[in-house]
């Protein structure tokens, strides 16, 4: 057990600590309005900071959204331009091939028609020549044709046609030219007939 002296010392110490606590409580109670005022100020500053931070965060979010929308719009524009360019190239290639095909068909058609017209003209000329040759062959069998053939065989037909033998001259008349005899210095000339 404890002796009385030790007990009284312990009780004294407890009393001293209790008084100190009471003093500190009363000091704190005196500081309560200042602490409350400081706490209110902290709450106000915190609320203001929170409000400003919230506004800043909203501004950052809006700016980010705007920049993202701008980047998306530019990407969509670029993609649309590339798609339009690709479609335009395909359309251009399609029209070039259509034009080339049409040109080839037109050239084939012109070539075919030209061939047909040329063939027809050639046949007409051929038949015409054949008719002329038939007529010539038939004339050659007449009396005049036989005489002309004889003159040709004797070599006189060329001179007769050109009237170029001595003693013969070409005279121009209203209705054309005629071959007329004219006396030459050394006599008359003519054509061999036999």
- Angle, helix 143-154 to helix 4-140, in steps of 10 degrees: 100
Q: Does 120 fall in a domain?
A: no
Q: Does 56 fall in a domain?
A: yes
Token pair, residue 138, equals 């038939």
Closest CA to 192 of 163, 139, 152, 161: 152
CA dist 36 and 30 (Å) reads 11
Q: Does 106 fall in a domain?
A: no
Identify whether residues 12 and 86 lie together within a single domain. yes
Q: Does 16 fall in a domain?
A: yes
**What is the pLDDT confidence band of residue 189, given thresholds at 50, 70 and 90?**
low
Identify whether residues 161 and 81 lie together within a single domain. no
Q: What is the mean pLDDT of the chain?
A: 80
Q: Does 115 fall in a domain?
A: no
Q: Does 126 fall in a domain?
A: no
Identify whether residues 95 and 190 lie together within a single domain. no
pLDDT tens-digit series, residues 151-178:
888 887 888 888 888 778 888 888 888 8
**What is the pLDDT confidence band of residue 192, given thresholds at 50, 70 and 90?**
low
Identify whether residues 12 and 85 lie together within a single domain. yes
pLDDT tens-digit series, residues 111-167:
888 888 888 888 788 767 666 677 777 777 888 888 888 888 888 788 888 888 877
Q: What is the per-residue pLDDT for 190?
A: 66
Identify whether residues 96 and 1 lie together within a single domain. yes
| Structural domain range at position 81 | 1-100
Largest CA distance in the chain: 206
Whether pLDDT at 1 is above 60? no
Write the DSSP assignment of 12-70 as a string of letters.
HHHHHHHHHHHHHHHHHHHHHHHHHHHHHHHHHHHHHHHHHHHHHHHHHHHHHHHHHHH
Q: How many domains does the chain have?
A: 2
Identify whether residues 89 and 169 lie together within a single domain. no
Q: What is the per-residue pLDDT for 193?
A: 64
Interacting residues of 10 by C-beta distance below 8 A, sequence separation 6+: 2
Considering only residues 134 and 47, tell me which one the structure prediction assigns the higher pLDDT: 47
Identify whether residues 75 and 167 lie together within a single domain. no
Q: Are 171 and 178 in contact (CB under 8 A)?
A: yes
At residue 134, φ and ψ (nearest 5 deg) are: -65, -45
Whether pLDDT at 78 is above 80? yes
């Amino acid at each position: 057990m404890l002796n009385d002296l030790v007990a009284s010392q312990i009780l004294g110490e407890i009393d001293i600590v209790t008084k100190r606590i009471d003093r500190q409580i009363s000091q704190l109670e005196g500081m309560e309005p200042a602490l409350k005022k400081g706490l209110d100020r902290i709450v106000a500053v915190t609320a203001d900071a929170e409000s400003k931070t919230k506004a800043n965060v909203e501004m950052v979010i809006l700016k980010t959204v705007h920049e993202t929308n701008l980047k998306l719009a530019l990407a969509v524009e670029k993609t649309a331009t590339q798609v339009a360019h690709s479609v335009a190239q395909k359309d251009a290639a399609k029209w070039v091939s259509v034009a080339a095909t049409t040109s080839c068909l037109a050239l084939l058609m012109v070539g075919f028609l030209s061939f047909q017209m040329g063939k027809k003209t050639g046949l007409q000329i051929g038949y015409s020549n054949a008719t002329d040759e038939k007529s010539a062959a038939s004339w050659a069998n007449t009396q005049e044709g036989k005489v002309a053939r004889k003159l040709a065989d004797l070599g006189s037909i060329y001179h007769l046609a050109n009237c170029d033998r001595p003693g013969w001259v070409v005279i121009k008349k209203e209705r054309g030219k005629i071959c007329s005899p004219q006396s030459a210095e050394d006599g008359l000339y003519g054509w061999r007939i036999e």
